[in-house]
Amino acid sequence: MGDLKVVALRTIKLMDLTSLNDNDSDETIIELCKSANTVVGNTTAVCIYPRFIPLAKKQLRLQGTPDIRVVTVVNFPHGNDDIDIAVAETKAALIYGADEVDVTFPYRALIAGNENVGFEMIKQCKATCGNNFLKVIIESGELKTEALIKKATEISIKAGADMIKTSTGKVLINATPDAIKTMLSVIKKVGAENSVGFKVSGGVNTVEDAKAYFMMADSIFGTKWTNNNMHCRFGASSLLINLLHTLDKDID
């Protein structure tokens, strides 16, 4: 098997197959769930808006893939600094049946110099999640500087995040190699590689993009780390088509 085919297989098994569009419908979500069950194996999860969680759970059960996790988003994509609302949204998502929650870090507050609100939001959202997985979207493209990206990553880890995620995919600049390297380096520096994972989202559109990320992450943590879906994820939608094309497979 060729190198890119190996990368494609690795990536599919680590994907949060995503649909977070304003025009999403029941039909969109049903098709997303079907697509997550590929001919070469399932994606780790589907990532959808909260209102679609019960539908996704039902469809995954009906198609015989109940182990595919359902991820949803809160405080998204705006990254506001209202902790009470973020916690309330997290509670609602869990009541709907979410397996994992992706919360947007209050990045504008951090840019303005307020480090505490981000810490408290993540801490309280994680307390609400309990054993459910909490990912924190730091919106690296809006933070821009290495110092702020480091700070948001450090705060999120200290506050109890299970995974750090680059981007919402809703801003002009999403995941970049520099931001990814910075975030991975922080996880390594603070010794959190066994307890905190990393999700690259936005900007990974081809198998070549995925390969570049794997090379970076493998060099820091090793392939065992990056093959574990509790440590490594890709948040993507159109990427799946490219990966299956690389494997000479159809999406259906």
Tokens 């995919």 belong to residue: 169
Per-residue pLDDT, 237: 85
Per-residue pLDDT, 203: 82
Tens of each residue's pLDDT in the chain, 252 residues? 569 999 999 999 999 999 999 999 999 999 999 999 999 999 999 999 999 999 999 999 999 999 999 999 999 999 999 999 999 999 999 999 999 999 999 999 999 999 999 999 999 999 999 999 999 999 999 999 999 999 999 999 999 999 999 999 999 999 999 999 999 999 999 999 999 999 999 888 999 999 999 999 999 999 999 999 999 999 988 899 999 999 998 655
DSSP of 180-239: HHHHHHHHHHTT-TTT-EEEEESS--SHHHHHHHHHHHHHHH-HHHHT-TTTEEEEESTH
Catalytic residue among 57, 126, 135, 165: 165
Per-residue pLDDT, 143: 98
Query: And the tokens for 128?
Result: 């609400």
Q: What is the 3-state secondary structure (H, E, C) of 134-148?
A: EEEECCHHHHCCHHH
3-state secondary structure of 15: strand
Whole-number Å distance between alpha carbons of 183 and 37: 30
Which residue in 62, 45, 77, 28 sits closest to 229, CA to CA? Answer: 45
Whole-number Å distance between alpha carbons of 4 and 218: 16
3-state secondary structure of 240: helix
Catalytic residue among 57, 126, 135, 199: 199
Per-residue pLDDT, 238: 86
Catalytic residue among 102, 126, 162, 209: 102
Q: Is 199 marked active-site?
A: yes
Sequence-distant (6+) residues with CB within 8 A of 99 are 45, 69, 70, 71, 132, 133
Q: Which helix (H) or strand (E) holds 16?
A: strand 15-18
Q: Is 151 marked active-site?
A: no
Determine contact, residues 137/168, Cβ cutoff 8 Å. yes
Per-residue pLDDT, 251: 55
